[in-house]
Amino acid sequence: MRILITGASSGIGKSAAEKLRAQGHEIIGIGRREIDDPNYYSCDFTDLGAVRSLASELSGIDAMACNAGGILPAGGLTDDGFDPAWQTNVLANLLLQEALAPQGPVIWTSSIAQYGGPAIVPEEVHGDRTGTKDFDVYAQCKRGCALIARESARRGLRAASFHPGVISSNFGLATDNQVRDLYALPLAKKVLATPDLGGSRLAELLSGEVTLDGSFYVTRVRGHFVRGHARDTNIARTIYEQSLEFCG
């Protein structure tokens, strides 16, 4: 398969790309860093125009990992007019999914962090989040990823979302809070899982051997949504349609 992986320059995405390439798949990677590889593209997901331009250069994508994203400082808006974290985690990945229309597996990197944080309010989640905790915004973004995957599956895609594990990576480095400090502790490096764990899970899901019906996977066991609103198909549909409209 010709597989597109966003967030492929490091961590989970890079690990999954290496594993899938070793299995004989053609990997197209997208990330923030500049890498000397003809099958790798650098793109700033806080610029939807750049994402659209990149999408126009790509074709023949069979499967996709919507993996780019992370925790960012809350507050402010991108030049497109959206919360930077929501745009990076949700909007830019959805733009690529819709533009490239892969027929194979589409896997969204979510997190068990989605179980935390305040409920998603569709009218507010994409706007200026000044005064909101960075982690609360991140939790809502990851719940958004799971909801997008669920609605994508309802619309006919072979889609799912997953929790990659609590990974020792660059997670939280863009923030100025306790999350960054926690991940920087020497002890954290010893107890957190390596990116290979998340990469292995992502590669397994992209292989298409797991049921892809919009479920959220923690490991090999089908996950579940804890909050009532996350079970609500109408919320998933609203978030999907609103985000698609924002993508232009």
pLDDT tens digits for range 32-45: 888 888 999 999 99
Name the domain count of the chain. Answer: 1
- In this prediction, residue 195 carries a pLDDT of 81
pLDDT band, very low/low/confident/very high, at 224 (cuts 50, 70, 90): very low
SS (H, E, C) the chain: CEEEEECCCCHHHHHHHHHHHHCCCEEEEEECCCCCCCCEEECCCCCHHHHHHHHHHCCCCCEEEECCCCCCCCCCCCCCCCCHHHHHHHHHHHHHHHHHCCCCCEEEECCHHHHCCCCCCCCCCCCCCCCCCHHHHHHHHHHHHHHHHHHHHHCCCCEEEECCCCECCCCCCCCCCHHHHHHHCHHHHHHCECHHHHHHHHHHHHCCCCCCCCCEECCCCECCCCCHHHHCHHHHHHHHHHHHHHHC
pLDDT band, very low/low/confident/very high, at 69 (cuts 50, 70, 90): very high
CATH number at residue 33: 3.40.50.720
| Range name among 28-32, 42-46, 64-68, 197-201 with the lowest pLDDT average | 197-201
pLDDT band, very low/low/confident/very high, at 26 (cuts 50, 70, 90): very high
CA distances from 6 to 3, 170, 196, 226 (A): 10, 16, 16, 27
Q: Which domain holds residue 36?
A: 2-247
Q: Residue 226 pLDDT more than 70?
A: no
pLDDT band, very low/low/confident/very high, at 194 (cuts 50, 70, 90): confident
pLDDT band, very low/low/confident/very high, at 156 (cuts 50, 70, 90): very high
Q: Residue 147 pLDDT more than 80?
A: yes
What would the mean pLDDT of 107-127 be, rounded to a whole number? 91
| Neighbour-count burial for 167-192, b at 16+ CB within 10 Å, e otherwise | bbbebbebbeeebbeebeeeeeeeeb
Global pTM value? 0.88
- Mean pLDDT over each residue of the chain, to the nearest integer: 87
Q: Residue 199 pLDDT more than 70?
A: yes
pLDDT band, very low/low/confident/very high, at 3 (cuts 50, 70, 90): very high
